[in-house]
A and B are shown apart, each in its own frame.
Chain A
């Protein structure tokens, strides 16, 4: 369970705050992902990075800003969030984006539970 780590595990912030979520993977993977998990809804993909380059951005509001400085680290910068943004934010990584199931299988971190007041 230590392959993908996320900090902080819990975060409470006001709507005017700026905060960042951090994800680190120790698996030597090249692709990283941000997902949002809300109650009673399926997981929603937010962003995908491959070798530090963003390859997918699923119509996510600009108040969420990802950053991938290297293939082991992924950040999600948050600013002026809304209460409906409260959710569990999951980071995942995979060996690659293509090349078969072994390359494309995603491994998840424990998540950051975010509450926006």
Chain B
């Protein structure tokens, strides 16, 4: 079952902030965030694990609320290069941790204007 992302789209001016949310009805092992530019493959931004560990882009931050199975991606002081579609991907919690089966949301289209 796909995680639910919100908002579906957002338009910003350079320098403004944005928050993208992702929620799941399943108990999660991890949440991933990816950005896709038009016509290109998705690119990894960040991964947040159950238990608090995370790894990712040093200019982007995110949070993972394990109790609510929700994650938020924080884009601060946005730049033109932040434009694209952002996807969250979720891994269900399973025996031994990662099951390697990533399910993506429908995406959030972010447009940053000069």
Whether A and B are associated in the same complex: the answer reads: no
Residues of chain B at the chain A interface (Cβ within 8 Å):
none
